[in-house]
Every structure is written in C-alpha cells, then in structure tokens.
Amino acid sequence: MKFSIVVQAAPYSCQSAETAYRFAKTLLDKGHDLHRVFFYGDGVHTGSALASPPQDEPNIPANWQALAADHDLDLVVCIAAAVRRGVLDDKEAGRYSKSGSNLADGFELSGLGQLADAIAQSDRVVTFGA
C-alpha cells in the first residue's frame, strides 16, 4: 500500500513527532511504499540541521535523514511554514538576506501543492498532529 505522512508535531515538544518516524520506519519494514513525508506547522523544525539533542536521546532529524537515504524518501518541508519559523535553504536565505541556511540534507522546501499531490497519489494519508 502507498502511504504519505503529514507531520505537524515539533520534534522534542510532541511525542507524535517520534511516533511519526516510528510509523514510517515500520511501514517500510513491512514492505509498504512511502510516497512522501510532508512536514507542516511546527513539524518543519524536523528539517533543521542545527538540532543538537543530547546523545542519549533520539536524534529525530538525523533519524529521518538516515531513513530517507536508505529508502530514497521524499521529505518535503512546507516552505511557507518553514520560512516564518526560520528553517531556510540556501535559496531562501539569499532571498531574505539571512546570514546562513539550516535546512538539513535530505529535506527540501516546497509548497502545499506537494501535499495535495501526496493526497492524490497515496492510498493512505496519515497525520501526526500537534
């Protein structure tokens, strides 16, 4: 079955951020397809390369990166939600004249059209809310 996942939960604020990752890993382990992960609302902080959790805690952004590398996942961070919260790629950092960018490798900024496309293409869309 083809899934897409919507993550609205901020890492380390909401358990559902960790649950979303575990759900994604499990469905891939079970042989399902993951069409896209769409990070929305506070969930955009998952795409920050600057997150530095203590070593004895899960590194949620790094876990997503590793999963994406293993399974060639499409990790899309909502551009409107991300830019207002200070999660920027090089292009947006340039556009807003910021001193640096912080979008982690493996994630990309894109619009809500990617969520609409995920809805159209997937058998199931599962939301992990805040």
Partner 1 sequence: MSDKKKVLIINRRAPYGRSNARDSLDVALTCGVFEMPISLLFADDGIFQLLGGHQAKEIGQKNLSANLAALPMYDIDQLFVCESSLNTHGLASDQLDHNPTVVDQKAIQQLIQSHDVVLTF
Active site residues: 78
SS (H, E, C) the chain: CEEEEEECCCCCCCHHHHHHHHHHHHHHHCCCEEEEEEECHHHHHHHECCCCCCCCCCCHHHHHHHHHHHHCCCEEEEHHHHHHCCCCCHHHHHHCCCCCCCECCCEEEECCHHHHHHHHHCCEEEEECC
87 binds partner 1 (CB under 8 A): no
- State which of residues 2, 28, 33, 41 lies at the interface with partner 1 (CB under 8 A): 41
Site string for partner 1, 54-83 (x = CB under 8 A): --------------------------xx--
- State which of residues 1, 50, 66, 116 lies at the interface with partner 1 (CB under 8 A): 116
Which residue, 17 or 65, has its beta carbon nearer to partner 1?
17
Binding site for partner 1 (CB under 8 A): 6, 8, 40-42, 80-81, 111-113, 115-117, 119-121, 125, 127, 129-130
